Amino acid sequence: MKRVITVIAVTLLMITGCSGNRQSGNRNDDFITVDVTASYPGKELILQDFLDVEYIPLETTDEFLCQGLVLDIGKEIIAVRNQVNDGDIFIFDRKGKGIRKINRRGQGPEEYISLSEITLDEDNGEMFVNDFSSRRIIVYDLFGKFVRSFRYQEGAMYKNMYKFDGEKLICYDAAIKATDKTSFFILSKQDGSIMKDIQIYFKEKKAPTGILFVGGGPRVNASSYFPIIPYAESWILSEYSADTVFRLMPDYSMLPFIERIPSIQSGQPEILLYLGIITDRYLFMKTEMNELGSGNMVRGVSIKDYLVYDNQDKAIYKYTIFNDDFSPQKSLDMSNVTINSEIAFWQKLETYALLEDFEKGQLKGKLKKIAAELEEESNPVIMLAKYKK
């Protein structure tokens, strides 16, 4: 019988005093309480002060013309696709040189319909293509040769898939279900069987998306919600309908990592808490306000705050963060997907924007040298923000 790990709801810690900038509780060294309704002081940060920044210009040839959407980054290669889902997988080395282009899009048993996610496993010479449309994981070698495939568990929708270890994957079940729990699956790489089903419980499922009002106008919001974040040889598991974020250790033990107050289940307006990049010192977060729209038919979503917990100060701030390779400095949103234990996040720098900044004399250092060699038709430059060693 498959072992089921059940996470029992953790009782909220009582805090005293009126300060919203206080950490409470000492159940483990990393436990943090976040009051999503509080007003926090501001803090300015420079990206290069706590992360190493690398720029990779993607080689541009007749065969390698791409829009620069990074799917995964390994020790030696980068897997990239176009914004349009045309099935092309571009494989570059870590310096940006094009190696090969793969396309296995189709309706056949060895093909994918949609190129939703890719998880690289260079140690075993494989890549796992997550195809939402066919609800399958299709495994190819790094040259695009079909190896095997397996289907999702019935009723599930796999998302945010990572390599857990040499034999297993970890993913989140993103299927909307009438249930009081959500699952994080540990899957066998060989046949997709569930090795562990890790469950987080909540009272009522909340909606993570809606209509986002930005600059006076609405647009569809795909909230930057990352339910799984690799962190220091462990995994941060976040369910936005629950009040507690947990840290999953390699032995499958679970530790409370963040607890939000007031409860997401306490009523309107809903304030959703999303986690972003995590470093030794900083934990980046974002809060969004979820309010019912006209006629209670749609949800209006607006960004409330960009927050950072400073582990040195033991305090929470509203942050503004700058990339120091631009002058004047350009701000960044740290609500990004974490790649692995080496790379905190990636960002695509569009060629046209870099050329404009170069002409204005607004670039510095290595980025300036790279921009000097770009042409209008060049592929994007990929910025990697890497953990300092």
Token code pair at residue 29 = 């060294």
For 262-288, how does the pLDDT look when each residue is reduced to its tens digit (9 = 90+)? 999 987 678 889 999 999 999 999 998
- The pLDDT score that the predictor gives to residue 85 is 85
Q: What is the spatial distance between Cα 283 and Cα 264, in angstroms, rounded to a whole number? A: 20
Burial level of 90, CB count in 10 A (0-12/13-18/19+)?
A: buried
In Å, how far are 20, 50, 97 from 90, measured between CA atoms?
47, 30, 10
Q: DSSP labels for 219-249?
A: EEE-----SEEEETTEEEE--TTSSEEEEE-
For the domain spanning 24-387, the CATH number is: 2.120.10
DSSP state of 28: S
- Return the bridge partners of 221, or none: 210
When pLDDT is cut at 50, 70 and 90, the band that residue 11 belongs to is: very low
Q: What is the spatial distance between Cα 356 and Cα 361, in angstroms, rounded to a whole number? A: 9
When pLDDT is cut at 50, 70 and 90, the band that residue 223 belongs to is: low
Q: What is the spatial distance between Cα 159 and Cα 111, in angstroms, rounded to a whole number? A: 19
DSSP state of 87: -
> What residue has token string 């390699």?
250
**Mean pLDDT calculated for residue range 202-226:** 60
Q: What is the spatial distance between Cα 150 and Cα 138, in angstroms, rounded to a whole number? A: 7
- The pLDDT score that the predictor gives to residue 2 is 39
Q: What is the spatial distance between Cα 19 and Cα 315, in angstroms, rounded to a whole number? A: 11
For 228-237, how does the pLDDT look when each residue is reduced to its tens digit (9 = 90+)? 999 988 999 9
- The pLDDT score that the predictor gives to residue 304 is 83
Picking from 166, 165, 161, 120, the residue whose alpha carbon sits closest to that of residue 141 is 120
Residue spans per domain, the chain: 24-387
When pLDDT is cut at 50, 70 and 90, the band that residue 214 belongs to is: very low
Picking from 219, 240, 245, 183, the residue whose alpha carbon sits closest to that of residue 10 is 245
Helix (H) or strand (E) holding 307: strand 299-310
Mode of pairing for the β-strands spanning 234-237 and 244-248? antiparallel
Least confident of 24-38, 63-77, 110-124: 24-38
Tell me how long the chain is: 389
- The pLDDT score that the predictor gives to residue 17 is 29
Helix (H) or strand (E) holding 366: helix 365-372
